[in-house]
């Protein structure tokens, strides 16, 4: 490094702009979207991994955050107020992506299995089709938008400071959350929930209270989506650096001390070139993994933190043995009852919820989008496109395979896709699973097992939920609204089995056994969590046990999914931990 650069770096750091010097001036910086600090990973000018000790060292940061998702974005924005932050996200930006930006494209986005897609499909070993976010903003760019807070009981059990929690939620809400315009299907389900006794009606509220309510949404009244990526606008442009198409492959440790200390990361840019970024030498600089419930345990394993046997199986050297990494994974089972209607209904995702005392939540979705013919019929959340297309890996999508897909789709019962469905979600499932590495390539989703309904309590609650959905369908409000000629539950359940898109073999006796119906038709509401659980992989401050300079802050730390739907609390947690870390370092001078 020449003297000129030393002087320039000193000069720039006086202006708090030292970080900009790490990036080449070429290439898009997304200033056209109002985010000049977002750049493509290839603009990062570190040397290749072979010369880490020399010029690579100049790229140092107070915080390096891996994963620009639901928690990573608010966390980065907050920490950048007083410290230099590098946020690394493997996906692209959501801003100009039509599939991401509009409610009406929810299912199209999930069905897009190209490498550029904001969603990355996977199938758990249970045979349930699922999806991971791969875009700046994470899950908030592909989800159904429903926004509702964790209960005060959940906040207490997490050990969070309720005052700071109550300041952190509104920070999110002011920026990206809206009141919904209640769609007719949602209104019918809301009224029916009250009719069957899921009461009182708590009106529009973010709070988690027993009864029926209308929640918030990240879609505005024009059906445009607002995501966690927009929270970056609250960051400090002089200290915030965001790289997209930056796939972190490994965390680097200094193992010479008593405890291993995280010091940097290796990441790959959009052209396949490798880079390294390091923490500054300041005390308490940290790497924070916010890569989601699959990405975070996977990255710890690939960095040498995990069960000895699992690491040995993959020929990875052990930095720290911890058999709990990738364990305690859980996905809340979702089961649906399809209800055909006489007239086509308006598209809606989730706007209302019944918070029952049975340990389950009732929600609903409806609508066909623009077309309802046999090829294009889709169904908002559980579209046949999501299910069947995504099971054809991109490379095998030959014209023949696509033809077969279309053929198979014709066997789906059309009437199921006219109308909408009611869903039940099991709260706090007791069934737990795990993930295993299938390769040492970070781009390969690990093998994930959720063991749905392996615990009898989960199955019992599912059956209770189906019975409650039956009552809703039979309620005066609902039958008046749906105007179906025949609402025999047996028929509806039969149809729901046929319309189901999981890969689990179906039985014919499901109407005789609601347990069988639950097992055969279980799908996901994409609230999977765990893998880096508090008390086993991280402590109550989310610091990884047994190493220094490393935390995990995202849904992988949850023992239970918060609220009826988790995104509000995941975003809150990013803001909350950012403020807490600033206060721990700076005291009241943090100014937050």
Ligand X SMILES: Cc1cc2nc3c(=O)[nH]c(=O)nc-3n(C[C@H](O)[C@H](O)[C@H](O)COP(=O)(O)OP(=O)(O)OC[C@H]3O[C@@H](n4cnc5c(N)ncnc54)[C@H](O)[C@@H]3O)c2cc1C
Inter-residue contact 144 to 350 (CB < 8 Å): yes
Residue (257 or 587) nearer to ligand NAG, CB: 587
- CB burial class (10 A; 0-12, 13-18, 19+) of residue 270? middle
CB of 16 to ligand X, least distance (A): 26
**Closest by CA position to 88, among listed 80, 76, 96:** 76
The answer to whether 70 is annotated as binding is yes
For 434, the 3-state DSSP assignment is strand
Residues in region 104-163 near ligand NAG by CB under 6 A: 108, 111-112, 152, 162-163
CB of 194 to ligand NAG, least distance (A): 22
The catalytically annotated residue of 107, 208, 245, 527 is 527
Q: Enumerate the β-bridge partners of residue 124.
A: none
Q: Which does 442 bind (CB under 5 to 8 A by kind): ligand NAG, ligand X, none?
A: ligand X
By the rule CB under 6 A, 70 interacts with ligand X: yes
DSSP 7-24: HHHHHHHHTT-GGGGGB-
Q: Which does 42 bind (CB under 5 to 8 A by kind): ligand X, ligand NAG, none?
A: ligand NAG
Q: Which two tokens stand for residue 213?
A: 């309510």
Residue (428 or 516) nearer to ligand NAG, CB: 516
Identified binder of ligand X from the candidate list 38, 86, 144, 158, rule CB under 6 A? 144
The answer to whether 71 is annotated as binding is yes
How many CB atoms neighbour CB 289 within 10 A? 32
Rounded Cα gap, residues 446 and 430, in angstroms: 22
By the rule CB under 6 A, 529 interacts with ligand NAG: no
CB of 524 to ligand X, least distance (A): 8
Identified binder of ligand NAG from the candidate list 271, 343, 370, 373, rule CB under 6 A? 271
For 489, the 3-state DSSP assignment is helix
- 162 cis-preceded (ω within 30 degrees of 0): no
Residues 553-592, one symbol each (x = binds ligand X by CB under 6 A, - = not), give: -xx---------xxx--x----------------------
Rounded Cα gap, residues 244 and 91, in angstroms: 6
**Closest by CA position to 40, among listed 250, 275, 306:** 275
527 counts as catalytic: yes
Identified binder of ligand X from the candidate list 19, 64, 66, 582, rule CB under 6 A? 66
For 298, the 3-state DSSP assignment is helix
For residues 569, 360, 338, 214, the Cα torsion angle rounded to the nearest 10 degrees is -50
What residues have CB less than 8 Å from 576, skipping those under 6 apart?
160, 164, 165, 168
Rounded Cα gap, residues 184 and 470, in angstroms: 19
Please report, in range form, the residues annotated as the binding site.
70-71, 89-90, 135, 248, 526-527, 555, 566-567
Please report, in range form, the residues annotated as the binding site for FAD.
70-71, 89-90, 135, 248, 526-527, 555, 566-567
Binding site for ligand X (CB under 6 A): 66-72, 88-91, 110, 131, 133-135, 138-140, 142-146, 247-248, 290-293, 295, 299, 350, 442, 526-527, 554-555, 565-567, 570
Binding site for ligand NAG (CB under 6 A): 29, 31, 36, 40, 42, 81-82, 97-99, 108, 111-112, 152, 162-163, 166, 207, 236, 270-271, 307, 313-315, 326-327, 434, 436, 488, 490-491, 494, 507-509, 511-513, 516, 586, 589-591
């Amino acid at each position: 490094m020449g003297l000129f650069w030393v002087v320039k770096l000193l000069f720039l750091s006086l202006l708090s702009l030292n970080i900009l010097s790490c990036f080449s001036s070429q290439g898009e910086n997304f200033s056209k979207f109002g985010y000049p600090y977002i750049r493509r990973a290839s603009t990062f000018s570190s040397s290749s991994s072979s010369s880490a000790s020399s010029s690579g060292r100049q790229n140092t940061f107070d915080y390096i955050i891996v994963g620009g998702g639901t928690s990573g974005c608010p966390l980065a924005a907050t920490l950048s107020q007083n410290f230099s932050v590098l946020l690394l996200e493997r996906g692209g930006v959501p801003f100009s992506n039509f599939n991401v930006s509009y409610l009406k494209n929810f299912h199209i986005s999930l069905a897009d299995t190209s490498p550029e897609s904001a969603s990355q499909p996977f199938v758990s070993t249970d045979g349930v089709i699922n999806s991971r976010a791969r875009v700046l903003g994470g899950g908030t760019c592909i989800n159904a938008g429903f926004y509702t807070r964790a209960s005060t009981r959940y906040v207490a059990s997490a050990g969070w400071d309720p005052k700071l929690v109550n300041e952190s939620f509104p920070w999110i809400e002011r920026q990206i959350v809206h009141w919904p315009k209640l769609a007719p299907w949602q209104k019918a389900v809301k009224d029916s929930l009250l009719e069957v006794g899921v009461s009182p009606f708590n009106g529009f509220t973010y709070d988690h209270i027993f009864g029926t309510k209308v929640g918030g949404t990240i879609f505005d009244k024009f059906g445009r989506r607002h995501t966690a990526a927009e929270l970056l606008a609250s960051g400090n442009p002089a200290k915030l650096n965001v790289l997209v198409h930056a796939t972190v492959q490994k965390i680097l440790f200094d193992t010479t001390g008593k405890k291993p200390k995280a010091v940097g990361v290796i990441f790959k840019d959009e052209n396949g070139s490798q880079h390294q970024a390091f923490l500054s030498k300041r005390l308490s600089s940290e790497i924070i993994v916010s890569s989601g419930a699959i990405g975070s345990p996977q990255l710890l394993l690939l960095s040498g933190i995990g069960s000895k046997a699992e690491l040995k199986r993959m020929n990875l050297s052990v930095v720290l043995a911890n058999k709990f990494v990738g364990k305690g994974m859980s996905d809340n089972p979702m089961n649906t009852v399809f209800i055909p209607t006489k007239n086509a209904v308006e598209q809606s995702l989730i706007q209302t919820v019944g918070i029952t005392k049975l340990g389950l939540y009732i929600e609903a979705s409806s609508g066909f989008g623009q077309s309802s013919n046999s090829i294009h019929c889709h169904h908002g959340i559980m579209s046949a496109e999501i299910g069947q297309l995504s099971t054809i890996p991109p490379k095998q999508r030959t014209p023949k395979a696509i033809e077969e897909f279309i053929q198979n789709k014709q066997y789906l019962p059309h009437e199921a896709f006219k109308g909408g469905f009611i869903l039940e979600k099991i709260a706090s499932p007791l069934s737990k699973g795990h993930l295993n590495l299938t390769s040492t390539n970070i781009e390969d989703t690990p093998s994930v097992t959720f063991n749905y309904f392996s615990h009898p309590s989960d199955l019992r609650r599912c059956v209770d939920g189906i019975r409650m959905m039956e009552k809703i369908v039979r309620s005066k409000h609902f039958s008046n609204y749906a105007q179906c000629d025949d609402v025999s539950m047996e028929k509806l359940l039969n149809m729901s089995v046929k319309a189901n898109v999981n890969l689990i073999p179906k039985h014919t006796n499901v109407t005789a056994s609601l347990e069988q119906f639950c097992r055969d038709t279980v799908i996901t509401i994409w609230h999977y969590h765990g893998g880096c659980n508090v008390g086993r992989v991280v402590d109550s401050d989310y610091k990884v046990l047994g190493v220094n300079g490393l935390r995990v802050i995202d849904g992988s730390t949850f023992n239970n999914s918060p609220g009826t739907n988790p995104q509000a609390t995941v975003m809150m947690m990013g803001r909350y931990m950012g403020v807490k870390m600033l206060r721990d370092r700076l005291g009241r001078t943090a100014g937050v």
